[in-house]
Amino acid sequence: MFDNLSDKLDKAFHILKGHGKITDVNVADTLKEVRRALLDADVNFKIAKDFTTRVKEKAIGENVLTTLQPGQLMIKIVKDELTELMGGDAAGINLSGNPSVILMSGLQGSGKTTFSGKLANFLKTKKNKKPLLVACDIYRPAAINQLHVVGGQIGVEVYSEPENKNPVEIAQNAIKHAKANGFNVVIIDTAGRLAVDEEMMNEIANVHKAIQPQETLFVVDAMTGQDAVNTAKAFNDRLNFDGVILTKLDGDTRGGAAISIKSVVNKPIKFIGTGEKMEAIDVFYPNRMADRILGMGDVVSLVERAQEQYDEEEARKLQKKIAKNEFGFDDFLAQIQQIKKMGNMKDLVGMIPGAGKALKDVEIEDDAFKHIEAIIQSMTPDERSKPSLIDVKRKTRIAKGSGTKIEQVNQLMKQFDQMSKMMKMMQGGAGKNLMKAMGG
């Protein structure tokens, strides 16, 4: 996420991070570089200029040059300002209605339908809500189907009226349906166009007026940079929405939208989308994002993600298996699948302080476990539970079946062996505490 910007800011801070004497000249040089980095990330010119002006004023106010660690203090000032620019505190969503109605707005392709599903899934699994998804796109039957597919994936009911061409009516009927059937959140996915146009704006403004949602969210593709900010402005002028959803932050996004949008529309970014899967949704925390932009990682989010996947019951079972020497490839596969649920590898690595930068030139595959999974899937159940059965003949068969090389099978066997030994060791003495710390 934002690799380029992080890289350039890191270079800008190079002088300050060094041990040389820091003068007002090199502070000015640094700020010039910071401004350039922001502009390259597609941050609006005025915002970038105001940003560096504020950092400079703060630096003068805090007498940066006379402090013990002027470089560190400067970086802290930049971090604080960046956090402020992106919204300060995290903003929640209003779920006070009964049902709470959430209206989604945004251009076609911004990720509205996908996000509607992610939000429904988030509210269902994390907030114990009973959401209803509503398809209000009256132009594209495919859009209605898409929402039904999404709803099916996450086990959330989808309300649609394919024959009805009146979105206001559909939305109102959906809310009635929700009330009658005990749904406490209604998420309305609306039609988008490829660009802002009057008809679309009127349509969504009418729906908005008729149903008076608790939350109106504007979804925007972060990859579109400055355009994202302009579109946000157009929608906000009409809808006075409550919050922004930035999608596709997993891609090669430059960061401009994330940094500028709040100060242009004065509405917080509430969630971010970081992938196509239903789990790829994160609450937006400006301070954590600032940390990531400045290459400081985001350990808090990493730990949270690990905790979300952690299942006490499963962990206990696993521990027993390890103690009894019964840890097999099926358990190994289950572990990998848990890690995968935490997000894509590149994203996870970026959350480890310093690792993003250190590994920036290392090619990390989106599906780094693909081969391992294929190999394990080519093993028989017996082989999975008793890896010692796997001799050269079997290895050759497994390699063939999984489309891998025998070296890769060997490597996995070796890794598995090492991991089993390590886990066994952790069972005793000092390891116990470590397992406990890990929640085992």
Beta-carbon contacts of residue 203 (< 8 Å; ≥ 6 apart): 167, 190, 191
One symbol per residue from 74 to 113: x for binding ligand GDP (CB under 6 A), - otherwise; what is it? --------------------------------x-xxxxxx
**Cα separations in angstroms, 365 against 171, 273, 278, 345, 347:** 42, 19, 20, 7, 11
In the chain, the amino acid numbered 283 is V
Residue 250 counted as an annotated binding residue: yes
Kindly state the smallest distance separating residue 413's Cβ from ligand GDP, in Å. Answer: 34
- DSSP 8-state symbol, 186: E
- Is the four-CA dihedral 83, 86, 88, 94 of positive or negative sign? negative
Alpha helices in 220-378 (DSSP H): 226-239, 256-265, 286-293, 299-309, 312-323, 329-341, 345-350, 355-358, 370-377
Which residues on neighbouring strands pair with residue 132, listed in sequence order? Answer: 186
Residue 100 or 105 with smaller CB distance to ligand GDP: 105
Residue 142 or 437 with smaller CB distance to ligand GDP: 142
Q: At what angle do helices 256-265 and 70-85 cross, to 10 degrees?
A: 60
Q: Does 343 interact with ligand GDP (rule: CB under 6 A)? A: no
Residue 99 or 343 with smaller CB distance to ligand GDP: 343
Pairing between β-strand 269-273 and β-strand 281-283 as defined by DSSP bridges:
antiparallel
Q: Which residue is nearest to ligand GDP (CB)?
A: 273
Beta-carbon contacts of residue 225 (< 8 Å; ≥ 6 apart): 42, 254, 256, 257
- From 145, 207, 132, 215, select the one nearest 171 (Cα to Cα): 207
Residue 52 or 274 with smaller CB distance to ligand GDP: 274
Residue 367 counted as an annotated binding residue: no
Applying CB under 6 A, what is the total number of residues that bind ligand GDP? 18
Q: Using CA atoms, how far apart are residues 79 and 287, in angstroms rounded to an integer? A: 8
CB atoms within 10 A of CB 57: 11
Residues 14-53 that bind ligand GDP (CB under 6 A): none
Q: Does 350 interact with ligand GDP (rule: CB under 6 A)? A: no
Residue 52 counted as an annotated binding residue: no
Residues 233-262 that bind ligand GDP (CB under 6 A): 247-248, 250-251
Kindly state the smallest distance separating residue 189's Cβ from ligand GDP, in Å. Answer: 7
Residues 255-294 that bind ligand GDP (CB under 6 A): 273-276, 280
Residue 249 counted as an annotated binding residue: yes
One symbol per residue from 106 to 145: x for binding ligand GDP (CB under 6 A), - otherwise; what is it? x-xxxxxxx-------------------------------
Chain residues that interact with ligand GDP, rule: CB under 6 A: 106, 108-114, 192, 247-248, 250-251, 273-276, 280
Positions at the binding site for GTP? 106-113, 189-193, 247-250
